[in-house]
Amino acid sequence: MSANVIAIDGPAASGKSTVASHLARLLSIPYVNTGSMYRAVAYAVLENKVDCNDTEAMAELLDSIKLDYSADEEGNFSLSLNGRFLKDELVTPEVNAAVSHVAAVVAVREKLKTLQRSLAEKQRIVMEGRDIGSVVFPDARWKFFVTASPEVRAKRRLDQSKESYSSATLEEIAKSIAERDRIDSERPVAPLKQCEDAVLVDSSNMNVEETVAFIAERIR
Ligand code: CDP
């Protein structure tokens, strides 16, 4: 099963989503962004005002939410939460602040791991996240760890959010990214880390095309 997966992991705002989606297009296979699944659960946690440290309340919430992936004609997946397609709602400052706490909950990770594994059963896919090569598909044939310097990552996220440049916003974004990385790296279950058998891709001085070409070259 794992031979079907190209695993791309890395820290927040490293550019891995853009790289993963371009790579998938180049290879004509679907792309799955697992961060959006964690974001959807965080969105549900906030909407239902659930305390993510309350095990029972979280179990109840997880039972009540249905996450679905439906593929478009090109095979790309869109995520829906209880029948509602979510996009901009998943990248608000509130979700950014909550998501790493929600992603540290074991029951959340178990539910999403099952969903992630099921998506690779029948097809080759590019799957991107924090623990794809380490936990979800430890025997994936291709594993990449995409990173970039903290300054480059903050600038990329700012460009992506189309907010106006000011040192204050840049500093705020850098702080929020660093805080998510800290929580993601320090959690006991499935922490963010580069696996020994993953190829390190430092994209600090590479644009999207160069990074995709670097990865595609290794796969070929
Ligand atoms: O795109 P960005 O780097 O901002 O983050 P994301 O990929 O959307 O992931 C959002 C959050 O979900 C991360 O900070 C992690 O807390 C969590 N996540 C995870 O724990 N495991 C994954 N496989 C993917 C995301």
| Per-residue pLDDT in tens (0 to 9) along the chain, 220 residues | 477 899 999 999 999 999 999 999 999 999 999 999 999 999 999 999 999 999 999 999 999 999 988 876 666 678 899 999 988 899 898 999 999 999 999 999 999 999 999 989 888 999 999 999 999 999 999 999 999 999 999 999 888 776 565 666 889 999 999 999 999 999 999 999 999 999 999 999 999 999 999 999 999 8
Helix, strand and coil percent figures for the chain, each rounded to 5:
55, 15, 30
pLDDT recorded at residue 215: 97
Q: How many domains does the chain have?
A: 1
pLDDT recorded at residue 107: 97
Question: What Cα–Cα distance (Å) separates residue 43 from each residue in 47, 63, 92, 96?
Answer: 6, 15, 9, 10
Distance CA 37, CA 77 (A): 12
Show the ligand 1 pocket: residues with CB < 6 angstroms. 12-13, 17, 34-35, 38-39, 99-100, 103, 129-132, 180, 184
| CATH code for position 95 | 3.40.50.300
Token representation of residue 54: 């309350």
Atom 7 of ligand 1 has which residue's CA nearest to it?
35
> For residue 48, which amino acid is it?
N
Residue 136 gets which letter from DSSP? Answer: I
Q: At what angle do helices 167-186 and 150-161 cross, to 10 degrees?
A: 120
Minimum-distance ligand 1 atom for the alpha carbon of 103: 20
Reported pTM? 0.93
In a domain, 147, yes or no: yes
Distance CA 177, CA 185 (A): 12
In a domain, 28, yes or no: yes
pLDDT recorded at residue 166: 66
In a domain, 17, yes or no: yes
Minimum-distance ligand 1 atom for the alpha carbon of 183: 16
Q: Which three-class secondary structure state does DSSP give residue 189?
A: coil
Under a CB-based contact definition with an 8 Å cutoff, are residues 37 and 116 in contact?
Answer: yes
Q: Mapped to the 3 state alphabet, what secondary structure does 40-58 carry?
A: HHHHHHHHCCCCCCCHHHH
In a domain, 35, yes or no: yes
pLDDT recorded at residue 162: 65
pLDDT recorded at residue 134: 96
In a domain, 219, yes or no: no
Under a CB-based contact definition with an 8 Å cutoff, are residues 7 and 144 in contact?
Answer: yes
φ, ψ dihedrals at 55, nearest 5°? -60, -45
Q: What's the gap in Å between 129 CA and the centre of ligand 1? A: 6
pLDDT recorded at residue 71: 72
pLDDT recorded at residue 77: 75
Domain that holds residue 74: 2-214
pLDDT recorded at residue 24: 95
Ligand 1 pocket: which of 14, 34, 136, 176 to mutate (most atoms within 8 A of CB) = 34
In a domain, 220, yes or no: no
In a domain, 199, yes or no: yes
Minimum-distance ligand 1 atom for the alpha carbon of 13: 3
pLDDT recorded at residue 163: 59
